[in-house]
């Protein structure tokens, strides 16, 4: 028996490009993961910083690559009633999670990481595709002005 006969061989090709909604989902999932890591660091009492690589030119005209800290803004805050509220942002826009509702209210900040993980899972499963497309449409309209 041949070694290849043990494998399940199929005629398949790797797609050359992903669908636009998949790219948008992946972008949002990446940002949600940053928020999860920020919330986890806050709960553990440590700092969370993300660095990015940037090319700068000095006075002599020489280019060099430097590491810079990237500022990450928290998507949550404590409301006047003492409860924590979380929004989901796509770029600079706040996404509407349900008709007329942009935030998730939590009883305490202890639920923050689990809530962000739940939102991330919903995005991964495609439950927020309609909202992502709506926000992307708003962003595109702003550029056309």
CB atoms closer than 10 angstroms to residue 114: 12
Cα(112)–Cα(127) distance, integer angstroms: 20
Q: Could you list the pLDDT tens digit for every one of the 145 residues in the chain? A: 578 888 888 888 887 888 888 999 999 999 999 999 999 999 898 988 888 999 989 888 899 999 999 889 999 999 999 999 999 999 888 999 989 999 999 998 889 999 999 999 999 999 999 999 988 887 667 777 6
Domain ranges for the chain: 18-46+73-144
Output the pTM of the full model: 0.77
For position 5, what pLDDT does the model report?
83
């Amino acid at each position: 028996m041949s070694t290849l006969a043990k494998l399940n061989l199929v005629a398949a090709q790797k797609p050359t490009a992903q669908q636009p909604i998949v790219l948008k989902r992946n972008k949002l999932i990446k940002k949600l993961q940053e928020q999860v890591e920020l919330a986890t660091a806050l709960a553990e009492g440590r700092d969370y910083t993300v660095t990015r690589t940037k090319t700068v030119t000095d006075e002599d005209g020489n280019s060099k690559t430097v590491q810079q800290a990237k500022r990450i803004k928290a998507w949550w805050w404590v409301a006047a009633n003492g409860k924590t509220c979380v929004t989901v942002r796509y770029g600079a826009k706040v996404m509407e999670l349900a008709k007329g509702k942009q935030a998730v209210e939590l009883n305490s900040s202890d639920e923050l990481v689990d809530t962000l993980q739940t939102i991330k899972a919903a995005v991964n499963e495609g439950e927020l595709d309609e909202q992502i497309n709506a926000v992307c449409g708003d962003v595109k309209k702003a550029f056309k002005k």
